[in-house]
Amino acid sequence: MRLFKRILLILAVLIAAAYYWLLLDNRPGDAAAKPVTIAQLRGLAEAMPGQKPTAVEVEQVAYRRLPGNLFTAGTGLKRRLISVMVFRLPVPGGQPIMIDSGVTAAASAEMGMEKFSPAARGRADTQLRAASLILLTHEHADHQGGIVGLGDSKLLDKVRFTAGQLPGNRWTDMMTWPKGPVPKATIGSTPLAVAPGVVAIPAPSHTPGSQMIFVRLADGREFLFAGDIATLASSWIETRARSRLVGDYLAPEDRAEVFAWLKTIKALRQASPKLQVIAGHDFEWIDHAKDKRGVKVGFPQ
């Protein structure tokens, strides 16, 4: 009997340790914030002459609900809304700028999405075709798959790719790329102005091709699109990475670099308290009942 109790105790300890390690552990280590400043980003945003974007718009293409612990380690098992979004920046007298491209219907089904909106997908596709510039926060199918899935190599010429977002790695090779010349990387390893008011910030961490996008609108409002470096708003507010179950095993990422960029986001927000940080999947934060965060829900018909 004593042996049986000892075995049960050992099993309980092992299970508890595994649960802590895989879903709760959120120690950030000694990763330091990156040397990226709000002054630097503002300088780059003003470097290119021309019309800046005037607004930020969003379409929610799909969503599912999953335990919070998976995406913000240590926050509990309560299910959170994990949304797939596409963003549009209208430019006066010109074509819009798009950030991320969402997921295709086929990939949505493969990923087990609870809801997929063909209408939102159609509006996003229309705007992707009309865009002058497309930027992708990273190469996962729920961010990059929409533009690749349109099957038009000419549309890919509008995308400013990082090297990690091109064919030849685990995630990009899961997509069926259109026939034609392979796109080239035009974003390197340092922050780069890509349009008036818009700055790409290469940030390999969540994936090799991850980048953040800083946007300074014509009226001076500022936004930082964090992609999945910050899956939810609580990711950067509380400096919480994804669980090890996800970040080490299911969708491996560079955990130390993720923490470094989360600290960078927090430092940028502290330097500019009105900066709106847009997490990669947190539609509820964007569409908050009392504070819309300055983002309009829905694209033009």
How much is the pLDDT for 285?
94
Q: What pLDDT, on the 0 to 100 scale, is given for residue 173?
A: 95
Quote the CA–CA distance of 133 and 225 in Å, as a whole number: 16
165: helix, strand or coil: helix
d(CA 279, CA 286): 9
DSSP 8-state assignment for residue 46: T
Structure tokens of 162?
């990082």
CA 198, CA 190: separation in Å to the nearest integer? 14
Give percent of the chain with pLDDT exceeding 90: 91
Give yes or no for a contact between 148 and 173, defined as CB atoms under 8 angstroms apart. no
The band of 290, judged by pLDDT with boundaries at 50, 70 and 90, is: low
All structural domains of the chain with their residue ranges: 35-297
DSSP per-residue letters across 22-61? III----TTPPPPS--HHHHHHHHTTS-SPPP--EEEEEE
Provide the token pair at 285: 């934060």
pLDDT tens digits for 54-90? Answer: 999 999 999 999 999 999 999 999 999 999 999 999 9
CATH entry, 35-297, from 3.90.1150.10, 2.60.40.10, 3.60.15.10, 3.20.20.370:
3.60.15.10
- Concatenating the DSSP letter of every residue in 82-101 gives EEEEEEEE--TTS--EEE--
Average pLDDT, the chain: 95
Q: What is the mean pLDDT of residues 83-98?
A: 97
Tens-digit pLDDT profile for residues 188-207: 999 999 999 999 999 999 99
Question: 287: left (phi > 0), else alpha (psi -120 to 50), else beta?
Answer: alpha
pLDDT, tens digit, 9 for 90 and up, residues 10-32: 888 899 999 999 999 999 989 99
Q: φ and ψ at 225, to 5 degrees?
A: -90, 110
Residue 288 scores a pLDDT above 90: no
